[in-house]
Structure formats: structure tokens, C-alpha cells
Amino acid sequence: MAITQSAAPPQVTIWETTNAIVASRALHVVAELGVADHVGQQSTPVATIAVGCGVDPRSLDRVLRLLSSIGIFARRRGGYAHTDASLLLRSDAPGSMRAFARMMNLRLMNETFTELMHSVRSGEPAVNLVEPRGFWAYLTDHPDQARVFGEAMEARAAAYIAEVLAAYDFRRFTTIADIGGGLGHLLRALLTAAPGATGILFDLPEVVAATDVAVERLTTVAGDFFRDPLPRADLYIVMEVLHDWDDQDCLRILSAIRRGAAPGATVAVIENIVPETGDDPRVNALDVLMLAITGGRERTAAELADLFGSSGFRLQAVIPTAGPMKVVEATAV
């Protein structure tokens, strides 16, 4: 028996899903052009926006008309105004998501998803057909696109930091190591919330070199968690790292943490967790993204528990946040 997931007629569900790529592509183009930066507080004529972006006004109007029909921009007579959603496309907006929309328009992303069938047939990342050395090597060779990717990941993390801080008490720990912590946005926020703690940011040398270390109680350690020893800490944070890797590489990462950790130390994995019952379309979409791009996956709490058990940790708790992220806590045994 078919299960109805939506109140919409089934034909509409298929039609809308099939054509979702059109709105998505329109969003990518508008983000790339910086259209939102040319829309003022009041309605702005489309001709004025087009001049600012250097594009054809009639074509831009058609694209913006589509986006306004789904709540991104508001169509006014002769022009467009901002909605809460379109404001997030401004470069100067708090929590701006412009970089994230641009990231999904990178050439590697576009070409990889035309090869999704390869992942479904083989179980291998579709990205291998576009860049045989993989996603991370591609970014290394394309620094401009790597910058967009980094900005997108920074914006994504920033959107969830407050929810994580509200859900988990970091004040219990004296030394917090952020493993694969990027430029340290999460760790800086944690140190503010936990004034008695010191922080260690561990990431690749090129990432650490770009990090502002002029922060009280924060030090950096450059290295590769697949090869180099990890620092000693009371708490190890691993935020949206494990989902980039397959199970074997996740075991390597967790085992490296366990070698650096004393018995009783805590690891907090902060990721989207696949629900044991029900569905979360945000998690499912990210899971397919990982399938195609990195070969990683989103996992259930039980699957993470198995990885913990195989690497010297014991699952303690799964702590929800106000958003899609959960904090999965384990202790070194």
C-alpha cells in the first residue's frame, strides 16, 4: 500500500520535485550575482538591480519572479523588496547564507550531481568521475572555490552554534579540543560560554595558518588526524567531520582521538543524526549529498555507538538541539 507523505496530489508532488532544480538554479545565479546586495530597504526597480549586477533586466525579472513565488524576495510593482529569506542572501547580513548558495553552484557540485547514478550503482562517490583524487584535492587545486566553500561552512556552523551552546553544558570541562575545527568559530563561542576552559584548535596546517590565534585561552595545533598525534583534552569536539568519511576512516579518526585521550575523557560528535523512526528531509538531503560528494554518510545514533565501541569509547547520551543537529556524547573507556 502506498503511503501518502503530502497533502498535495501525487502528480503535483512529482512535478514540483522534478522542477525543484529550476528554483535551485535560479537561487544559485542570484547568489552568484550578488542580487540581494542591490535591493534596498524599499522596493527597488528591477532595471536598477540589473544595472548593478550587469545583467539583462527582463531575464532577471523572470528569475526573481520565480524566487518571489516561493518567498525569496517580494515582488512589487516594477521592482522587488526583501523578505526574511532574501535578506540572508546579502553579503553583509548576520548569518548570511549567500556563500552556501554559491557553494552549491560550484562546477564540481554541478558536474558531480549529474553523475549521481554512479553512486547509486556502485556505492562510490560520484565525484570520482569528475575529480578522481576526490573533493578535497579539487578544492586544494581551486583556491577561489575553496574560499567559497570555506565561507559556506563558516556560515552553516554559525547558524547552529547558539543551538549547540544552549543544549550542552561545556562549562564542565577545563580543556576542550576542537578536532577538524576549521577557523575555530565554534571553539571561540565555547570559550566565551565556558570562561574556565582553555581551547585547542586542531586542523590541517594550511587551515591553522589562516586562523586568528589572538584569542585568550585558545591555542592551535597543526596536523592531520589520519597521521599525527592529537592533543590531550577533557573534551573532544567533532562537529560535522565524521559524516565526511566512510566507516573505516571514521574509526581511524575516533581511534586517533582515543589514543590522545585519558580514560574518562569525553568526545562530543555534533552532527545531523538519522532518526530511528520517522524522517527528517534535511538529514536525508545531506546524506545523499555525502553519498555523491565525499563518500561519507549521515548516521543513526546506534551506528555512531558501534563506531564508538570499536574505537575505545562508550556512548553516554544523545542530546537534541533546537535545530537539526544533535550532540552525541561518549566517554573513553
Q: For residue 144, what is the DSSP state?
A: H
CA–CA gap between residue 18 and residue 2 (Å, rounded): 20
CA–CA gap between residue 29 and residue 35 (Å, rounded): 9
Nearest Cα to Cα of residue 294 among 132, 131, 127, 129: 127
Question: Which of 28, 82, 118, 243 is an active site residue?
Answer: 243
Residue 149, φ and ψ in degrees, nearest 5: -60, -45
Handedness of CA 250, 251, 254, 260 (dihedral sign): negative
- Which of left, alpha, beta for 54 (phi over 0: left; psi -120 to 50: alpha)? left
Residue in this structure with the C-alpha cell 538554479, named with its chain if needed: 25
Cell numbers linked to 312: 575505545
- In angstroms, the first-to-last Cα distance of the chain is 47
**If 0-12 CB within 10 Å is exposed, 13-18 middle and 19+ buried, where does residue 133 land?**
exposed
Residues β-bridged to residue 219 = 200
Residue 39: count other Cβ atoms within 10 Å of its Cβ. 24
Those residues with Cβ within 8 angstroms of residue 321's Cβ, 6 or more apart along the chain or in another chain: 160, 163, 164, 166, 167, 168, 327
243 labelled catalytic: yes
Using DSSP's 3-state secondary structure scheme, residue 221 falls into strand
Question: Catalytic residue numbers?
Answer: 243
